[in-house]
Amino acid sequence: MKKVKTGIYGLDTLLGGGYRPGSVNAVLGTTGVGKTIYGIQYILYGLNRGENGVYISVEMTEEDFISECEQMGWKEAETYIENNKLTVHQVYAEDTVFLVKDLIGMIERGCGEKNRIVIDSLTPFIFRSDTKRRKGIAEFFRKLRYLGTSVVTLEEPFLNTGGFENSAVPILLSDSVIRLQNVGYGELFSRTLRIVKHRGSHHGEGIYPYYIERGLGIVVEASESDIKQVMPKKEYSKEFKQAIDIVKKKAPENLREILINRLEESSTSWVRSESPEDTLKYFLESELGDHE
């Protein structure tokens, strides 16, 4: 599957290539960690490659957006707005009772063939979340997935202000969650990024330092051994091939193709440095046990 690159330098490798197309991805953090910069960097990366962008902001007007981009040294945003490739909407949460009804149409109008959607931030929309609204978030996410690949930012302190159940909903519903933190001491680990989850993909498990640079944006620092942990290992193809041969010989007709497919999938995504020998033994014992 072709992944959607985030355009956050150093991050895509750790995400196993990037986001899943048609997914909703949360970026979580307290004020000042760089959520807005993340959103802008993500959307410009797509725009610079011919995609369309829709940016929903509770804070920024179109003008503010352009000036925010200029602050970072990113001058191309204005042209994309003029050419209707990028739509920036400032939306007041108070006016938005129903996410789907009020936002989806607005987003859809800015969409083209390949779309990057940013909601910065989703928190005000879910603050007064009752059961009805909570259901609304699920439906909203479902519709977003049809429209493109989205980033929603979430304010972190909000999680501790009671109503955890409600505020956890977007996190539970998101296909991936990235947490940015600013601990504010020590040079290297002052700002850190962690991939909390990434559905259907291997991802880096570490806590990675990142920095924000004018001109570049967010840059994540991962060591070679961090990167090695998420790279599929080719050196075990022999072990997988042996297991496939056993399946070919011993599996009943109706299971053969299914099991071979599993082994092939596993072979191309095996990221662990240990040999898969034991794992394959368990697999064969369980899948073929009844038929020996």
Ligand X SMILES: Nc1ncnc2c1ncn2[C@@H]1O[C@H](COP(=O)(O)OP(=O)(O)OP(=O)(O)O)[C@@H](O)[C@H]1O
Task: Name the residues that contact ligand X, by CB under 6 A.
Answer: 29, 31-37, 71-72, 212, 214
If the CB atoms of residues 10 and 34 are measured against ligand X, the closer one turns out to be: 34
CA distance 245 to 241: 6
Are 95 and 102 spatial neighbours (Cβ–Cβ below 8 Å)?
A: yes
Q: How far is the CB of 58 from ligand X (least distance, A)?
A: 9
Number of residues that bind Mg ion (CB under 5 A): 2
- Residue 44 interacts with, from Mg ion, ligand X, none (CB under 5-8 Å by kind): none
**3-class secondary structure, 139:** helix
Q: How far is the CB of 31 from Mg ion (least distance, A)?
A: 7
Are 182 and 30 spatial neighbours (Cβ–Cβ below 8 Å)?
A: yes
- Residue 71 interacts with, from Mg ion, ligand X, none (CB under 5-8 Å by kind): ligand X
Half-sphere exposure of residue 49: CA atoms within 13 angstroms, side-chain side: 12
If the CB atoms of residues 29 and 46 are measured against ligand X, the closer one turns out to be: 29
- Residue 33 interacts with, from ligand X, Mg ion, none (CB under 5-8 Å by kind): ligand X
Q: How far is the CB of 159 from ligand X (least distance, A)?
A: 14
- Per CB under 5 A, contacts with Mg ion among 23-82 are 35-36
- Residue 32 interacts with, from ligand X, Mg ion, none (CB under 5-8 Å by kind): ligand X
Pick from 246, 219, 236: nearest CA to 272: 236
**What is the DSSP annotation of 204-240?**
--SEEEEEEETTTEEEE---HHHHHTTSPPGGGHHHH
CA distance 156 to 115: 26
Kindly give, in sequence order, each residue whose CB lies less than 8 Å from that of residue 52, ignoring residues fewer than 6 positions away: 46, 85, 86, 110, 111, 112, 113, 114, 115, 116, 148
Q: How far is the CB of 62 from ligand X (least distance, A)?
A: 17
If the CB atoms of residues 35 and 198 are measured against Mg ion, the closer one turns out to be: 35
If the CB atoms of residues 86 and 263 are measured against ligand X, the closer one turns out to be: 86
If the CB atoms of residues 33 and 247 are measured against ligand X, the closer one turns out to be: 33
Q: How far is the CB of 31 from ligand X (least distance, A)?
A: 4
If the CB atoms of residues 121 and 129 are measured against Mg ion, the closer one turns out to be: 121
Q: What are phi and psi of 52, to 5 degrees?
A: -105, 155
Q: Which residues bind Mg ion (CB under 5 A)?
A: 35-36
